[in-house]
Amino acid sequence: MFNRIMSLLQGTGEVAQNSGFERVQVATCALLMEVANSDGNYQLVEAKVVNDLLAEKFNLAPDAVAELIGYSQQLREESLDLFQFAREINAHFSRDEKLDVMEGVWRVIYADGTLDKFEDTLARQLASLLRLDHKDAIGRKLKVLDEVYPDRKS
């Protein structure tokens, strides 16, 4: 899979011709990893949420998820901004799929039970980069909060 991702990002070979889905996998993973690392403390519970989200969203086996995360993490660290990843998602995902990514962002943020100011700022930035309405992005946040803290309204 690593070689396929490399050729796809370099725009060479057979993979590049049918690459929309795989580039969007890398982009989605990179954004989730950015969120998971945004508070400076990448925890095991966040890693599990990222793994589960990627496996479910893209129907990937555990070894493929691990390889995707490793490559996306490297690409994320080398990147100057998040726009390139958001652009890929915007180009290939519907509004509902982008809202699913936003919901994943909130799941990663609340995996450790806290919302840190850096995470909150990043979530707002990502909603904007993904061209999502603030109300819809907050709706996904509230959905996750209702699941994580079912008694919070009491």
Q: How do residues 58-78 score in pLDDT, each as one tens digit?
A: 999 999 999 999 999 889 889
80's tokens? 């100057």
The region of weakest confidence among 20-29, 58-67, 125-134, 140-149 is 20-29
The CA–CA distances, whole Å, from 102 to 3, 61, 75, 138, 153 equal 29, 23, 20, 9, 22
**How far apart (Å, rounded) are the C-alpha atoms in residues 116 and 102?**
17
Residues 96-128: pLDDT tens digits?
999 999 999 999 999 988 898 999 999 999 999
- 14 within some domain: no
Within a domain: 134 = yes
Domains of the chain: total: 1
Please name the amino acid found at residue 149.
Answer: Y
Looking at the whole model, is its pTM more than 0.85? no
Please choose, from the candidates 1, 2, 95, 82, the residue with its C-alpha nearest in 3D space to the C-alpha of residue 37: 82
Q: Which domain holds residue 38?
A: 2-7+19-148
Tell me the average pLDDT across 42-56: 94
Max Cα separation, the chain? 57
153 found inside a domain: no
Above 80 in pLDDT, residue 6? no
CB 72 within 8 A of CB 33: yes
- Residue 13 domain-assigned? no
Q: Decide if 68 contacts 1 (C-beta within 8 A).
A: yes
Tell me 111's DSSP state.
T
Choose the weakest-confidence range: 13-17, 45-49, 63-67, 105-109. 13-17
Residues 34, 100: Cα–Cα separation, whole Å = 16
12 domain residue, yes or no: no
Is residue 14 packed enough to be buried (19+ CB in 10 Å), middle (13-18) or exposed (0-12)?
exposed
Would 38 be classed as within a structural domain? yes
Q: Is residue 44 part of a domain?
A: yes
CATH code of residue 141: 1.10.3680.10
pLDDT for the residue 86: 96
Residue 126 lies in a domain: yes
- Gyration radius (Cα) of the chain, Å: 15
